[in-house]
Amino acid sequence: MTRQLNRHVIGRADDLPPGSRKLVQVAGREIGVFNVHGAFYALANRCPHGGGSLCEGFVTGLSISAHPGKYELVREGEFLRCPLHGWEFEIATGQSYCDPKNTRLRTFNASVEHGAELVKGPYVAESFEVKIEEDYIVLDL
Amino acid sequence: MKLPFKGVIDCDLHLPSPPTTALLPYLPTHWRDQLETRFIHKMNFQLTSYPPNSPLTCREDWRAKKGDGESDLDRLRRQALDPFGVDIAVASLLHGAIALFNEDMAAALCSAVNDFVAHEWLDPEPRLRGSILITGQNTDHAVAEIERLAHDKRFVQVILPVMGDMLPGKRQMWPIYRACERHGLALALHAGSTYRFPTTGSGWPSFQVEDYIANSAGFENAIVSLLSEGVFSECPNLRVICLEGGFGWLPTLIWRLNKEWRGIRQEVPWITRQPGDILRERFRFTLQPVEVPDAALIARIIGHIGSDDLLLFSTDYPHAHFEGVEALPDGLPEALIRKITRDNPLAAYPRLSGGASANQPEKAEQRS
Amino acid sequence: MNVPLPSVTSAQKIGIVDCDIHPVQRSAADLYPYMSQRWREHSEMFGPHIRQGLTGMQVYPRMMAAGQRADSYPAGGGPPGSDLDLMRSQHLDAVGVEWGMLVALSKGGMEERNPDFATVLSHAVNDWQRHDWVAKEPRLLAGVVVPQEDADFCVKEIHLRAQDKAFKQIIISPRSAEPLGRRRYWPIFAAAQECGLPIGLHPAAFSGGAPSTSAGWPTYYMQEHYAFCTGMQGNIVSMIFEGVFEQFPNLKIALIESGFTWMPAMCWRMDAAFERMRKEVPHLKRRPSEYIRDHFWFATQPMEEPENPAHLPEIIEWIGWDKLLFSTDYPHWDYDDPRYCIRFRMTDAQRSMLFRDNARALYGLP
């Protein structure tokens, strides 16, 4: 791993094909780098809910249902399920999936940003900018 | 404390179970013959959950006195409707027919009970509303009974015991809920068990008081069942009224389900918002028996629940939960009393929203 | 809105007592050194015989990685909870466990239908805890696992293990054949009181005969998991109303992984029902809530997460700060990390009680 100012080269893009991930230590922090359908994303390896090693969780899709008894898995490979309590996070944004569109009890401001089916949760996993420069994965920190 | 004004809505009031001979005129000839030749008409169909002489079943000073000549209806008016200033009382007759395993006999008796209630109670007493008694073990029978009576708008709910033939969320039960929703009938779950299953997860306890306490667990698991199975995806307008089960346990239920849903919602992906939010929207709970010890704690529990829309006034007449006419916990704020005795019930029952609003609550005459 | 990332609390500054750690056998063979050839053969040929339609798996399959932390599977193979080194690095060392109370649910014979095999499993699991865990890791402490349906055997096993300082409590299944207050279980309570060992009740995955709810079997794990609370309620109501604490005034009960926030409402409910029905239970000399106050402790995991975190300490005030026992449930999926799971303010005194001192007092730990 080479370091240049606050930019960290963490490996060759070729070594991280779509659907794979890599856990790296950068500036004392554990960070998971993910290739989701060819795009690279990085998330802190700590679940904002219960402190779990989020980036070691299952990379999967989103279970949705049109009606009780009907099941569909959509957006495969775009979500991360924490290995502790199973909370789901969108890898691209670090945004937790589950939270009410609105509650009568004011708790968290929830707003819809990513498509009709995706609802923002109260927690966002810390994410970092990832760039591909001459086939290397670069992490801005 | 006493109710500070008249015109309240009592959401849980019980009609006495008649002698079975009184139901004979309402039965088809086959069943009349069966009951008479098998001597079933001499039996009283008292539910084990409510043994006849137990304080659970009737307050001592409300028991009928032999030979005083007072009719059941007059007694109900004198004891339950007039002293509380009741404008509307949602009544139910918890008949033991629902505990029979012969589902055809059970259904015939349920129909007889419903017709008996319509003629003997709802006809002469306009303050009463009825509950359609069904047997939960046969959905065809249950739906047919709902359809048969749905035109009679005096019936405002369909009633099942909270611990019945199966957990209420099961898909086999859904035709009943579709029928409820179709006709603007609430679904009422009442405390008590048909004893199909032991009242605890570790088998049968020794005492009736344990069974009575176990009603809260029965309600919790029933609510978890209705929510998990997605009943409110199928019937988004179904309203569920929980009768005589208390409400102090609601905060834990809401907190646990909300947390659980975040972690394991993939198992039940039709739940697309916090289960606690669905609960606050679709479920209502009657007041008596109030177990939460005082008004201050009730306020805290309502705060934990996160809504004061959920409680509905009830006397649970003639079950013994309070003395005299002190049907409210002491110190309950008047605004809350107005909500639970009037606004919440009107909003809770689709069939009450229209007709009852003409009679606004009025201030009670000064009591000495 | 982003909630700030939870920060590491000062929990790390004090050693914690974790009141719910699950050690697991790599396979049944781990127990074979502690049972005779006759029973090794039985175990191989017939295996466990329990009251459900599947063997070797659960009829409510768990959600996350068979109900385990997905990151707790040992690299060298074997199930989560079977590798002491991983337990040390991932849990004991990582979160600062001073004492860890073992709750050996697996293969302990609590649900075994063959009564002789049940006693063999119980004895073997207790030996196994002693030799394969406590002897190797002095921070761990064992619980005497006994098959509650065989009270005579339980009494012997409890008296035997009570002489060994490694054993700090007695573990029986709250999915018993009958509610735990019933008199068939009283010899166990007598032995517990005599030996000065608390009884730990932890929800069991397998039924003792009754469905998990009073309206039959649930459909989903989500429901089955909720029934951990209601199932426990039936047992404590039973123990109180049968008069167990009149008979055994020094008996102490720890409720593990069954929730604690429902307890104030349950106390109110029991007291109200008692007022109305006390003629049925004249053997009770006190209100039910008073027995709860004197005889019950509550492990915290899974910690509730109310929308308003301040609601939780209100509930704890009603229960008493001295009655909570911190627990993680390692290595299960709903593990509570002591550094993150408390989302409300505590005083230093409250923190010490919750994380350490209450458990020390209950279990007599140094």
Tens of pLDDT, residues C213-252: 999 999 999 999 999 999 999 999 999 999 999 999 999 9
Q: In A, which residues are within 8 Å of B270 by CB distance?
A: 65, 67-68, 70
What's the pTM? Answer: 0.93
What pLDDT, on the 0 to 100 scale, is given for residue A118? 36
Q: How far apart are CA B105 and CA B95, in angstroms?
A: 13
Average pLDDT over residues C188-198: 98
What pLDDT, on the 0 to 100 scale, is given for residue A134? 66
What pLDDT, on the 0 to 100 scale, is given for residue A122? 59
Q: Neighbours of B (≥3 Cβ pairs closer than 8 A)?
A: A, C
Question: Taking CB atoms and an 8 Å cut-off, how many pairs form between chains A and C?
Answer: 59
Residue from B172, B178, B261, B270 whose CB has the most chain A CBs within 10 Å, to mutate = B270
Q: Buried (b) or exposed (e) across B51-69, using 16+ Cβ within 10 A?
A: eeebbbbbbeeeeeeeeee
Which positions of chain B have pLDDT values less than 50?
355-368
What pLDDT, on the 0 to 100 scale, is given for residue A25? 87
What pLDDT, on the 0 to 100 scale, is given for residue C106? 85
Closest CA in chain B for residue A73: B266
The shortest C-alpha distance from C94 to chain B (Å) reads 23
The shortest C-alpha distance from B168 to chain C (Å) reads 8
What pLDDT, on the 0 to 100 scale, is given for residue C311? 97
Q: Could you say which of C64, C71, C340 has the minimum Cβ distance to residue A50? A: C340
Domain boundaries, chain C: 10-363
- Portion 225-244 of C in contact with B at CB < 8 A: 225-227, 229-231, 233-235, 237-238, 241-242
Is the pLDDT reported for residue C31 higher than 90?
Answer: yes
Query: Tell me, what's the ipTM?
Result: 0.95
Taken in order of first residue, the domains within chain B and their CATH numbers are: 5-355 (3.20.20.140)
φ, ψ of residue B216 in degrees (nearest 5): -65, -40
Which positions of chain A have pLDDT values less than 70?
1-5, 99-123, 133-134
B234–A contact, CB cutoff 8 A: yes
CB atoms within 10 A of CB C54: 9
Is the pLDDT reported for residue C130 higher than 50?
Answer: yes
Q: How far apart are CA C133 and CA C104, in angstroms?
A: 11
The shortest C-alpha distance from C81 to chain B (Å) reads 21
Closest CA in chain B for residue A81: B263
Computed over every residue of chain C, the mean pLDDT equals 95
Is the pLDDT reported for residue C54 higher than 80?
Answer: yes
Q: In C, which residues are within 8 Å of B199 by CB distance?
A: 214, 234
The answer to whether the CB of C22 falls within 8 A of the CB of C334 is: no
- Portion 50-69 of C in contact with A at CB < 8 A: 63-65, 69
Is the pLDDT reported for residue C1 higher than 60?
Answer: no
Q: In A, which residues are within 8 Å of B230 by CB distance?
A: 65, 67-69
Q: In B, which residues are within 8 Å of C209 by CB distance?
A: 203
Q: In B, which residues are within 8 Å of A63 by CB distance?
A: 265-266, 269
B67–A contact, CB cutoff 8 A: no
Question: How far apart, in Å, are the Cα atoms of B123 and each of B118, B153, B154, C169?
Answer: 6, 12, 9, 64
Q: What percent of chain B has pLDDT over 70?
A: 96
What pLDDT, on the 0 to 100 scale, is given for residue C147? 97
Q: How far apart are CA B308 and CA B244, in angstroms?
A: 18
Interface contact A50-C336, CB threshold 8 A = yes
The shortest C-alpha distance from A112 to chain B (Å) reads 13
What pLDDT, on the 0 to 100 scale, is given for residue C19? 98
Residue B34, phi-psi category: left (phi > 0), alpha (psi -120 to 50), beta (remainder): alpha
Interface contact C335-A84, CB threshold 8 A = yes
Which CATH fold would you assign to the domain C10-363?
A: TIM Barrel (3.20.20)
What pLDDT, on the 0 to 100 scale, is given for residue A99? 57
Q: Could you say which of C6, C70, C335 has the minimum Cβ distance to residue A57? A: C70
Three-class HEC string of chain B = CCCCEECEEEEEEECCCCCHHHHHHHCCHHHHHHHHHCCHHHCCCCCCCCCCCCCCCCCHHHCCCCCCCCCHHHHHHHHHHCCCCEEEEEEECCCHHHHCCCHHHHHHHHHHHHHHHHHHHHCCCCCEEEEEECCCCCHHHHHHHHHHHCCCCCEEEEEEEEECCCCCCCHHHHHHHHHHHHHCCEEEEEEEECCCCCCECCECCCCHHHHHHHHHHHHHHHHHHHHHCCHHHHCCCCCEEEECCCCCCHHHHHHHHHHHHHHHHHHCCCCCCCHHHHHHHHEEEECCCCCCCCHHHHHHHHHHHCCCCCEECCCCECCCCCCCCCCCCCCCCHHHHHHHHHHHHHHHCCCCCCHHHHCCCEECCCCC
The shortest C-alpha distance from A5 to chain B (Å) reads 39
What pLDDT, on the 0 to 100 scale, is given for residue C204? 85
What pLDDT, on the 0 to 100 scale, is given for residue A123? 67
Interface contact B248-C268, CB threshold 8 A = yes
Taken in order of first residue, the domains within chain A and their CATH numbers are: 2-140 (2.102.10.10)
What pLDDT, on the 0 to 100 scale, is given for residue B360? 43
Q: In A, which residues are within 8 Å of C63 by CB distance?
A: 86
Query: Residue C140 has which token pair?
Result: 């761990």
What pLDDT, on the 0 to 100 scale, is given for residue A84? 92
